[in-house]
């Protein structure tokens, strides 16, 4: 029986490391990714896709910076919306084409998605998320004074603007997503964590200058749409203990309690697998299954034969 699956695509699904960020390169990567997503649909599952947008938003911000003398720059929330639009366009078109080749229904839609955060989130008091281009120290001091930006040194490569990364509270448009999925429509939603918005004292939504972690938003989306499976697709087939070391150990079926112990022991880096495992564990704690695997192994992983599966405690581990 088919499952309702939220698929969180990693950045490599759109742009490979060190690859030139041309539209053609990104479209080819998306086409390859969508061929695999179509296989999940073909296997009878109901699919909701979300994706990252870090490099794309960074490039849009750079375009803004380069053209600021001629065209007024857009705020970060508008840049996030822009990236959602063109990535969603590539995905929707590619999925429609792939499903048509398989003679399957080609109902695919992209939803420009707002993610509500709390205006009182502590992240707004301590911005930590680097975005955009690199600057010299002198340029950083000037921008901080001129625009009020928070600037920080980034790994010895120069200075970048840092913005808040608040916790997602609510994905907007979920009822529409659930209705669409019920009619066998593949939905692309919450790209890049969603467009960050807050609710003001009058109850109106308003965009804010922030970046929401895509794995946390994918978790919130999975919870709100009542997904059966939360699947995080990355560039490795499994999660590993002692990754890259001689005693590297592949994880397959892992109960929540065991997975939390591995997190406590510090096996997963904050900048890579840590946020993915954190989100996967949180979803499995609700009594459902999370999967972390490569794109190629997605169909097999949904059948319980591949990937790392974070299992609710009542489940039997099928390693």
Candidates 11, 54, 191, 193; catalytic one? 11
250 a catalytic residue: no
Distances (CA, A) of 11 to 65, 278, 312: 23, 18, 28
For residue 45, what are its two tokens? 């599952």
12, 25, 97, 107: which one is catalytic? 12
**Distant-in-sequence, close-in-space partners of 156: CB < 8 Å, separation ≥ 6:** none
Instruction: Please provide the distance, in angstroms rounded to a whole number, between the alpha carbons at the two ends of the chain.
Output: 22
Q: Give the C-alpha separation, 319 to 315, whole Å.
A: 12
* Catalytic residue chosen out of the listed positions 36, 96, 214, 288: 214
Q: How far is the CA of 109 from the CAs of 135, 175, 277, 298, in angstroms? A: 39, 15, 29, 21
Which residue among the candidates 36, 46, 96, 276 is catalytic per the annotation?
A: 276
Strands (E), the chain: 4-9, 46-51, 108-110, 114-117, 129-135, 150-153, 159-163, 168-171, 186-188, 195-199, 205-207, 229-234, 240-241, 249-250, 253-255, 289-294, 308-311
Side-chain half-sphere exposure of 275, counting CA atoms within 13 A: 17
Across the chain, which distance is largest between two alpha carbons, in Å? 61
Backbone angles phi, psi at 29, to 5 degrees: -65, -45
Q: Is 129 a catalytic residue?
A: yes
Out of 36, 46, 96, 129, pick the active-site residue. 129
Q: How far apart are CA 55 and CA 170, in angstroms?
A: 24
Q: How far apart are CA 67 and CA 109, in angstroms?
A: 32
β-strand 4-9 against 46-51: which pairing, if any?
A: parallel
Query: Which residues are annotated as catalytic?
Result: 11-12, 129, 214, 276
């Amino acid at each position: 029986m088919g499952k309702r699956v939220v698929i969180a695509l990693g950045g490599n699904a759109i742009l490979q490391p060190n690859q030139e960020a041309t539209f053609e390169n990104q479209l080819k990567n998306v086409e390859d990714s969508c061929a695999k997503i179509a296989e999940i649909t073909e296997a009878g599952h109901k699919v909701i896709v979300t994706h990252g947008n870090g490099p794309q938003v960074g490039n849009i911000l750079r375009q803004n910076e380069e053209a600021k003398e001629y065209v007024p720059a857009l705020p970060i929330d508008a840049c996030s919306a822009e990236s959602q639009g063109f990535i969603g366009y590539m995905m929707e078109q590619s999925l429609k084409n792939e499903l048509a080749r398989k003679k399957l229904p080609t109902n695919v839609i992209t939803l420009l998605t707002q993610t509500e955060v709390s205006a009182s989130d502590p992240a707004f008091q301590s911005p930590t998320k680097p975005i955009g281009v690199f600057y010299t120290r002198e340029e950083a001091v000037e921008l901080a004074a001129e625009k009020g930006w928070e600037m920080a040194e980034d790994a010895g490569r120069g200075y970048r603007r840092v913005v808040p990364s608040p916790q997602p509270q609510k994905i907007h448009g979920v009822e529409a997503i659930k209705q669409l999925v019920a009619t066998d429509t593949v939905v692309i939603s919450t790209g890049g964590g969603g467009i960050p918005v807050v609710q003001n004292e009058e109850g109106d939504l308003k965009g804010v200058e922030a970046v929401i972690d895509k794995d946390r938003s994918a978790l919130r989306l999975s919870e709100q749409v009542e997904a059966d499976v939360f699947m995080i697709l990355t560039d490795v087939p499994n999660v590993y203990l002692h990754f890259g070391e001689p005693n590297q150990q592949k994880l397959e079926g892992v109960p929540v309690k065991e997975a939390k112990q591995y997190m406590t022991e510090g096996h997963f880096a904050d900048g890579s697998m840590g946020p993915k495992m954190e989100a996967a564990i949180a979803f499995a704690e609700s009594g459902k299954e999370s999967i972390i695997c490569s794109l190629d192994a997605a169909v097999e992983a949904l059948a319980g034969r591949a990937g790392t599966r974070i299992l609710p405690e009542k489940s039997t581990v099928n390693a």
